[in-house]
A and B are shown apart, each in its own frame.
Chain A
């Protein structure tokens, strides 16, 4: 329990540091948002009024604290470009991106864990080598290219889905989940290959450990040694890596939304970056940071459950 509390406090500190750094970064960049809103012809008094409306006239520390307090009240500021609350702007985008992430996480685990275990179980056989070769190639696929390949094969070729034909969950849940399978697969494939490789390497490393020899010396079958002793030990590096892969899934989803035309957080982040709509960029980045930190926290807790040696 103490361990979990310590990790939660650590996560909160991390989020605060992120918020401070990101806010500062956007606060000190050159350029006057009020000026770009009103154009160069604006009078000085109009500019001042606009600055006051946008909350830019106060010193940076005050602005940061106000912004931070706003977050706790559920107020993420107002978009420059759309002149509407950021919360309203991203409220319906968030579920889409989170669905995509969870979907790809599940696919990633379903693909990588059984195959990694199986390949190590069959080490040095033809099937192991075949898995290794295919795995090497998939590992080298950039997520957007795997997205394009999947579009080409399943969309253009096999016509399993209509490329660009996103349907929101409210309109048709079945078609939503059917469509989302393909972008999720595009994110999951290269990551699965990496986790497969890691699990495979760590399982093969465990085979040489002393306790495996001890287990054999007690008359265990190969299966009992493999599944009863090695699997739990080998899963620990894999858990750490899955935690890191989650961060990559977040990054991957931004790109994949672009490939499949999904109106999620990634899309709005990109448009806001191009529009220099900083309140929205800030909000989306904080949300992503929150997701990454929470998943890392979950990984730490799982790790503690699996490995008794963690203090």
Chain B
């Protein structure tokens, strides 16, 4: 592969993520304005020095809201991926390694779940549990389990037939030791790249749910929710929709460039 192009991807990805994630991290403790305080005088104010991204229909500072909103979005994404990948890995490891009837049954259900768009699965779960940031995290986490389970299962099914696993068996390693000491480290490459992709999907799914009004609930800010509120003001203040949208694009582009580097 071309060295120069690789490092270009890497630098661009890092810059994009730095530009979005650092404000999000700062936003957890400090924002220029209170993201929830309304100010009628500044209603739909355009870009200015005081409000660098302008203000929304309640006069709230868009930049501050993006800072705190992307923080919430990222937290949900981390929770979702952690839940999906850990439970998915455990299910995939056991079913892939042992095979048999249980494997067939679980994978049948898994196929059904996979045929469903994850956002729809999340919709069902949310309609059962109500909306809110923890519900979104839980719903997406469950919706993401099948894809990880399938990937990890495929890896286990492939690796368990390799000679080094047989060799570990002869060396007296038990099933659990083989599964988690011998095989797991070798799924790292596949798992890592699917975690990166999963992270992007989680951000998209959360933003989608919040955009539909059933994700993160006010007063919490969320990039998706901001976009859906901004939609009504496309004529008067297009910037209000552009900034949160561009922030999402930057995060996703950054992650996918970096995951190309790792994968």
Contacts and interface: CB of A to CB of B under 8 A. Distances in A.
A254 interface: yes
Interface in B15-54: none
B253 A142 contact: no
B112 A14 contact: yes
Contacts of A269: 123
A271 to B, nearest CB: 10
Given A145-B227, A148-B227, A248-B117, A156 B211 contact: no
Contact of B212 (A152, A156, A254): A254
A77 to B, nearest CB: 16
Interface in B102-119: 108-109, 111-112, 115-119
A46 interface: no
B207 A273 contact: no
A17 interface: yes
Interface residues of A, number: 44
Given A145-B245, A151-B234, A274-B214, A140 B124 contact: no
Interface string A131-150: 00000110111111100110
Contacts of B186: none
| Of listed A141, A144, A255, A273, residue having the most chain B CB within 10 A | A144
A255 B208 contact: yes
Contacts of B117: 247-248, 250-251, 292
Contacts, number: 114
B191 interface: no
A139 B123 contact: no
A273 B127 contact: yes
Interface in A283-308: 285, 288-289, 292-293, 296
A68 B96 CA distance: 34
A18 interface: yes
B115 A296 contact: yes
A247 B147 CA distance: 14
Contacts of B126: 273
A18 B112 contact: yes
Given A142-B207, A142-B208, A255-B212, A137 B249 contact: yes
Interface stretch (A21-29, A92-100, A113-121, A205-213): A21-29
B204 interface: yes
Contacts of A254: 119-120, 123, 212
Contacts of A137: 249, 253
A293 B112 CA distance: 9
Contacts of B204: 142
B249 A145 contact: yes
A35 to B, nearest CB: 17
B128 interface: yes
A273 B241 CA distance: 26
A144 B120 contact: no
A149 B249 CA distance: 12
A288 to B, nearest CB: 6
Contacts of A251: 117-120, 208
Contact of B128 (A17, A26, A288, A293): A26
Nearest to A14: B112
27 contacts: A14-B111, A17-B109, A18-B116, A136-B256, A140-B200, A140-B248, A142-B249, A144-B207, A145-B227, A145-B248, A148-B227, A148-B231, A152-B238, A156-B235, A163-B234, A254-B119, A255-B212, A269-B123, A270-B213, A274-B214, A281-B124, A285-B124, A288-B116, A289-B115, A289-B116, A292-B115, A296-B115
Interface of B: 108-109, 111-112, 115-120, 123-124, 126-128, 200, 204, 207-208, 211-214, 224, 227-228, 230-231, 234-235, 238, 241, 245, 248-250, 252-253, 256-257
